[in-house]
Amino acid sequence: MELYFLGTNAGVPSLERNVTSLALRLLDERRSFWLFDCGEGTQHQILRSPLKLSKLECIFITHLHGDHLFGLPGLLSSRAYQGGDTPLKLYGPPGLKQFVQMALDLSESRINYKLEILEHEGGRIFEDETFRVEAAKLDHRIPSYGYRVTEKDLPGKLDIDLLRRHGIEPGPLFGKLKKGESVTTPEGRIVHPAEVLGSPKPGRVVTILGDTRPCPAVVPLAEGADALVHEATFMHDLAETAFTYHHSTARQAAEAARQAGVKSLYLTHFSSRYKYEDQLQQLQREAQAVFPNAHLAREHELYPVKRGGE
């Protein structure tokens, strides 16, 4: 599981940065990736990345402001030309379906894969055998949501020596035990997974927030997360400006990370006024004064989400 930032600028693109989009790479876990927001130019950013649209499984839109959304019609339209013929699920606030359908209908765009648009107003919006996604409303000028992605616990390691003493060699029976199924040895003895599996590996948690002022919903969404992605539009000397425009400062992002007990904080959604490296470093230092494990999100860099204890 890895974070890959495709856009980190707020409002409009700049010469240095694109507008908001973030990929959660799940190649080992699902052989796919999920996309969070899709600002203008996202598909161009993907072309410059190791990501392949044929592997895109889900898109989660935090809110309907253009810098988080305007790249969506183009990406959906051209996905098939890049080998994307598998079903795609698109999640986001009410109004997302109307926006997408109108853009595709008026442009007479044809999509030759199954596109399912699922509007939500928070709560548990996705769950299968490996992952769960929950959403909660934040504090922004329009409805904006944060997403908590939870990887379910993984089975512990098999005790190979013990299995061999039971007469079970590597093969299909190993797979069944890892899936939680009991198996029968060649001698007819039933072996239960609990007898031969170590302690489960705890799943990882990633919280990705849309635009927001500091608000009560942030800490529950981020509680104990291995990685928190939080906007840091301004430095704290512009806290009043941040409040006026329903955004957060780097210090406020760090305070949320500290309160939630997260392991790593990634700052993104930087105002265009911060053009130069020394200005970005000031944002990072401001956050690190409160939460030392704070990082600037860099476009086209991979950030592994480590499991607890790794």
Does residue 128 have a known ligand-binding role?
no
Residue 63 annotated in ligand binding:
yes
Question: What average pLDDT does range 88-104 have in this prediction?
Answer: 97
Determine the average pLDDT of the residues in 62-66. 98
Q: Is 140 annotated as a binding residue?
A: yes
Asked if the structure places residue 135 within a domain, the reply is yes
Is 123 a member of any domain?
Answer: yes
Query: What token pair was written down for 258?
Result: 């500290």
**pLDDT digits over 134-152, tens only?**
999 999 999 999 999 999 9
**Residues 168 and 94 reside in one and the same domain:** no
The pLDDT tens digits of the residues spanning 230-261 come to 999 999 999 999 999 999 999 999 999 999 99
pLDDT at 308 over 70: no
**Based on the domain organization, do 296 and 189 belong to the same domain?**
no
Residues 6+ apart with CB under 8 A from 188: none
Q: What pLDDT, on a 0 to 100 scale, did the predictor assign at position 91? A: 98
- Tens of pLDDT along 1-46? 999 999 999 999 999 999 999 999 999 999 999 999 999 999 999 9
Distances from the Cα of 298 to the Cα of 66, 69, 262, 280, angstroms: 21, 20, 20, 11
Check pLDDT > 50 for residue 309: no
Reported as a pLDDT band with limits 50, 70 and 90, residue 163 is: confident
Q: Is 211 annotated as a binding residue?
A: yes
Does residue 150 sit in the same domain as residue 164?
no
What is the domain-level CATH number for residue 273? 3.60.15.10
Residues annotated as catalytic are 67
Q: 250 is written with which tokens? A: 């780097």
Q: How far is CA 71 from CA 22, 81, 123, 211, 223, in A?
A: 13, 16, 26, 17, 31
Q: Would you say residue 309 lies in a domain? A: no
For residue 138, being part of any structural domain is answered with yes
Amino acid at 137: K
Beta strands in 12-163 (DSSP E): 21-26, 32-36, 56-60, 88-92, 115-119, 123-127, 131-137, 145-151
Q: Which domain holds residue 168?
A: 160-196
Tell whether 138 and 222 lie within a shared domain. Answer: yes
User: How many CA within 13 A on the CB side of residue 285?
Assistant: 6
**Is 21 contained in some domain?**
yes
With pLDDT > 70 as the criterion, what percentage of the chain qualifies?
A: 98
User: Has residue 128 got a pLDDT over 80?
Assistant: yes
Please say if the pLDDT value at position 122 is more than 60: yes
226 and 283 share one domain: yes
Domain match, 146 and 237 both:
yes
Looking at residue 112, its amino acid is: N
Whether the predicted pLDDT of 310 surpasses 60: no
How many structural domains are present in the chain?
A: 2
Residues 244 and 184 in one domain: no
Per the domain annotation, does 310 fall within a domain? Answer: no
Same domain, yes or no: 104 and 177: no
Are residue 179 and residue 55 in the same domain, yes or no?
no
β-strands 115-119, 123-127: how paired? unpaired
Backbone angles phi, psi at 215, to 5 degrees: -155, 160
Q: Are residues 41 and 56 in the same domain?
A: yes
Kindly state whether residues 191 and 206 are assigned to the same domain: no
Q: Is the pTM of this model over 0.85?
A: yes
Find tokens 């790593």 and name the residue.
264
Q: Is residue 26 part of a domain?
A: yes
How far is it, in rounded angstroms, from Cα 23 to Cα 2? 8
Judged against a pLDDT cut of 60, whether residue 269 lies above it is answered with yes
